[in-house]
Each structure stands twice: as C-alpha cells, then as structure tokens.
Amino acid sequence: RHAPTEWLSFEGPLRPRAFDANKLIGNAGSPWGATLLMSNAHLQFRLWRIRNSMDHLVRNGDGDELLFIHAGQGELFCDYGHLTIREGDYVMIPRGTLWRIETRAPLAALLIEATNASYQLPEKGIVGEHAVFDPAVLEVPAIDDVFRAQQTEEEWKIIVKRRGALTTITYPFNPLDAIGWHGTLLPVRLNWRDLRPLMSHRYHLPPSAHTTFLAERFVVSTFCPRPIESDPGALKLPFFHSNDDYDEIIFYHQGAFLSRDNIHPGMITLHPGGICHGPHPKAFQAATKGTRIHTDEVAVMIDARDALDVASLPEGVEWEDYVNSWKG
C-alpha cells in the first residue's frame, strides 16, 4: 500500500548515496593518479581526467582494466598495436598489457579494475551469440603505420601498478615495438552504440539482461536508448526492489534517466545491499501516464557481490540530501 522509499528518516551506512563527478575537476597524467571513488577487494572504481597525452607507459599487474570513455577522444597504443578511442567506448585492457594514450581532446573516463581477476563476455543463452552485440563489432588493436611511427629510440618509462604500489622501469627505447602477435588474449573496443538492447513490449526486463562484461565478483551492464514497454499492463520502469545480494553503482553518461529525478550526466549513485529502492515519485508518475514511448538514457551499471567502500571525496561532490529525494 505504501512505497518502501517513503521513509521518514534514514540513519546509518546503508543510505542511498549520490555523487556529482563533474565536481571532480583534477587532472592526472597517469591512470594511477585517477580519483578513487569506490572499491572492495575485487573491484576498483575510479574516475580519470587527462588533458594532455601520457609521457610514459603503464602496466596494471593487479587485474584487467575496463575503461569507459565519458568524454573526449584519442589514440591508444599498447603491446598489440593501435586503437582509436572516442566518447562512448568501452576499452578492455587485460592485466599485464603495456599501454598509453595520446589525447585528441581532453578525456574523462571511468576505470573499472577487476582486481586479481579477468573480464569475460556474458553467456548469451537461447537468445544467441549475436545478442546483445555481434562479436564481429569488437575492434582489436592493429599494428598499422600510426603504431610503427611511434616506435622511437628515445627514453621511455613504464610505471607498473602491483598491489597498489608503483614501480618505475626505464628503457632507452619505446617498448611498444611489436612487429606482430597472435593469440586470443587481447584488448577490445566496444561502443555503446554497437549494443542492441533486449526488449519486451509486455515485460520490463531485469538489469541482468543488459550485462556487457562479466567479472568474477561483479558485472558491468549498459543501459541504452530503447522503446518503452507498450503493453497497457506492463511495468515501464524498474519497480521497487530490494538489494539483497549486490551493491549497485550507476554512472549516468547521457540523456534523462528513466527512473530518476534531478540526476544529470556525470553523476553516480550507490544503492547498497540490504535496502529497498525504486523510482522517484515524479518518474513513477510519468511512467504510469505513459507519455514517453522511448528512452534516451545511456548509463553504466556495476553490480558488486561484495560491499563497497566509498573513498574520501572533496566536499560538495556528494549530494548529501539524495536519501530524501524520494519524499513527495
């Protein structure tokens, strides 16, 4: 009879939280200087802003790295060759890969580390191997003329991250000097525009249907523009539900999010396990009226099986009153 979000007060560590990453204005020339947002033993979730090209190489010895490019464009050079990257790209970089980025426009990117683990593609089941994207759209690095042109005999440094500590190795040449490679372990690029979300006109599909990458203790899902359910009796947005098994992070990349009010691109929400949450009142009312027939949202969601710790962030980044945003 009552929405489970109609609380009078909320005290303790499990309150819903929201953060405005647009207020994190720092610039880091290395991913190891990126701002830590949330973490647990299996996941590091960071925000990286870089204006100028990297002047060194990096290698992550702790786990696979998944980049989501929120803004900007550039060229990625790695052991396997060259990739052009742009806004909306996922770039999965396996653990131990040597890489750097030359910026063409200032970059803002999420860094999602699968600590001591690797990324896989989710099982597609009976919907077939071409859902939610055709594997043929996965782009891999190429040893092309752009890659060969950066193979200089100048001094280069590699900064390796292992167990959170940094080690610097100096070479008298650029170690990105491969002439060829083979195998199945390699970086891949995937843009959200290549995704074709599963849809049902009668049933609001659970977020797991939109899983894009799978790690051992968390999943990364992508919400993309799609038609809204059209059956008169269908739910048209995520209903009230409990977080029993996962801590849920959502990063809002662009558009107006279907179930949220007062959330703009560049914001992040955290709904910890152990609480109920659901649509904001205005979003709920708009969905029940059925005035929208299509979503325009793009968002990255992480469901973490283990509780997340929130890092210390500058004052003003967290929207302290988010817990009260469900009050009518």
Residue 44: its pLDDT value, please? 98
**In the prediction, which pLDDT does 86 show?**
98
CA–CA separation, 277 vs 102, rounded Å? 41
pLDDT at position 257: 83
By mean pLDDT, which of 31-45, 63-77, 273-287 is the weakest? 273-287
| Alpha-carbon separation of residue 230 from 161, 199, 219, 282, 291 (angstroms) | 49, 11, 28, 20, 11
Please, are residues 49 and 108 in contact by the beta-carbon 8 Å criterion? Answer: yes
Residue 238 confidence (pLDDT): 80
Residue 328 pLDDT greater than 70, yes or no? no
Run of H or E including 286: helix 281-289
What does the pLDDT average to over 3-29? Answer: 93
Least confident of 127-131, 162-166, 283-287, 295-299: 283-287
Q: Quick one: the chain helix, strand, coil %, rounded to 5?
A: 10, 40, 50
Length of the chain: 328
pLDDT tops 90 at residue 194: yes
pLDDT tens profile 206-254: 888 999 999 999 999 999 999 988 888 888 888 888 889 999 999 999 9
Secondary structure (DSSP) of 191-238: EGGG------SSS---GGGGEEEE-SSEEEEEE---BPP-STTS--S-
* Tens digit of each residue's pLDDT (9 = 90 or more) over 159-181: 999 999 999 999 999 999 999 99
Q: Between β-strands 156-162 and 57-60, what pairing exists: parallel, antiparallel or unpaired?
A: parallel
Count of C-beta atoms within a 10 Å radius of residue 223: 22
pTM: 0.95
pLDDT for position 82: 98
Give the pLDDT score at 106.
96
Q: Residue 132, preceding bond cis, omega within 30 degrees?
A: yes
pLDDT, the chain, mean: 93
pLDDT at residue 321 tops 70: yes
Distance CA 89, CA 26 (A): 22
